[in-house]
Structure 1
Amino acid sequence: MTGRLFEAYPVGARDLEVEPHGDDPKALWAATHAILAQDPACRRIVLAVPAGDIPAIDFGERAGYRYVVDVEIHGDIELSLLAAEPAWVLKEPRAIETRAGH
């Protein structure tokens, strides 16, 4: 991922940011799943909304995204990040102690 979120969190090489057009969470859900099907190596699709914008966060959650973290990007802009990840990513161990070599 390049662009405004590049330094906001530990970005994966194939992470993408999505900017929805419209207010239909089903359309965002469909587009998200199409992207993940088209690029099986994509680990995360990120939806960035104004920090604390509850209606925007709710929209993302209804589209299958989950709230992850609030960040501040260049220009003192605060964002809430939501992510959609494929099932294979969600099944990976999260704790450092459970990763190979630890």
Structure 2
Amino acid sequence: MHQDQVIEVADGFDVIAGSCYCWNYLTAYKTQVLTVQGHPEFTMPFFTAFLKNIKEKFDEELINKAQFSLQGNINNKKFNQLLNQFIYGNIGLTY
């Protein structure tokens, strides 16, 4: 588990999505590059099991923060729709 984040958006990139935990979660450079900071492939059951398995290896406060983050809305379907829109040029970005 890591807590690495891009805290400053690169020149020419636009923020597409973010949250109070990760302001620059999804960024794009024109219609050529899409970056994502999280793990949209993680499902809720996977992440819950992952936290359970690593509990002994990390500080209790860090594990508690990660468990608290699960209370939010993990929306893999929405992310996949956005990714498809970007790939097919329908994301609505204007340049």
The question of a shared fold, defined as TM-score above 0.5 by the shorter chain, is answered with: no
Greater RCO between the two (CA within 8 Å, min separation 6)? 1
Which protein is bigger by CA-based radius of gyration?
Answer: 2
TM-score (norm 2): 0.26
User: Larger strand proportion, structure 1 or 2?
Assistant: 1
User: Larger helix proportion, structure 1 or 2?
Assistant: 2
TM-score (norm 1): 0.25
